[in-house]
Amino acid sequence: MDADEIILERLAFLRNEVAYLKRERDRVRSFKEYVDNTRLCKAVERGLQVAVEACLDVGRRLIALEGFRYPEGNRDVFQVLGEEEAVPQELLPALLDMARFRNLIVHDYAKIDHAKVYGILKKRTGDFDEYARAIVAYLERREQGLGRVS
């Protein structure tokens, strides 16, 4: 399996995770319903974490494949992709928020704000789709010899 296939495999994984999150988003009708359902809260938190991890995996793989500068941390993965025009600058703030959220979920799990998670579920799942589209568009430009390619 070459690097592009690995990226596409991770993007398919991301698509499936985001589809699950969107089903939950559409099913839950209120914050109270969400917060009263411990199992749902935990499932959504994990789903969001895994979706962000998939985005980071894709980014790291693309950075390695293209020989871009080595990222200093998770947020820097997205910063590098922005610098290299693999993702649009207008998406970068949302991606940096993803990395911050991932760190919160992983490292400060005792301080998780259910309202914040619910807000991400209800309003930000499209950011994952936008990221995936940007990566696919970059790969297509690279294949055609267009865009910023090392």
What would the pLDDT profile of 93-128 be if each residue is shown by its tens digit? 999 999 989 988 888 777 889 999 999 999 999 999
Look at domain 3-143 and name its CATH class: mainly alpha
For residue 139, give the H/E element and its range: helix 125-143
Please state, in angstroms and rounded to a whole number, the distance separating the CA atoms of residues 46 and 96.
Answer: 18
Overall pTM > 0.75 = yes
Please report, for the chain, how many H helices and E strands are present, in that order: 7, 0
Coil, helix or strand at residue 14 = helix
147 and 85 Cβ atoms separated by less than 8 Å: yes
Q: What is the chain's length?
A: 150
Query: What per-residue confidence (pLDDT) applies to 3?
Result: 55
